[in-house]
């Protein structure tokens, strides 16, 4: 995952080359603008978890109920 600020507007070619390289190694790159992370942290977290689940399956076959044991 990469957190992108406005400096990446000028680095598109570099980002494409780096993404291509990382994907050739089996990695998946997710990019989120800093402003999106600040404004929508839950949405960004959901996007990350959805991507992980799509690639690996559920993270646990029987997740614990919310706040169990607290």
Whole-prediction pTM value?
A: 0.63
41-55 residue pLDDT tens: 999 999 998 998 888
Q: Are strands 31-33 and 2-4 parallel, antiparallel or unpaired?
A: parallel
14-25 residue pLDDT tens: 888 988 999 999
User: Could you tell me where the beta strands, DSSP code E, fall in 1-70?
Assistant: 2-4, 31-33
């Amino acid at each position: 995952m990469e957190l992108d600020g406005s400096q990446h507007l000028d680095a598109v070619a570099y980002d494409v080359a780096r993404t291509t390289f990382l994907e050739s190694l089996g990695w998946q790159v997710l990019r989120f603008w800093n402003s999106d992370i600040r404004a929508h942290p839950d949405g960004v977290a959901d996007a990350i978890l959805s991507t992980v689940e799509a690639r690996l399956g559920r993270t646990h076959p029987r997740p614990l109920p919310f706040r169990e044991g607290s």
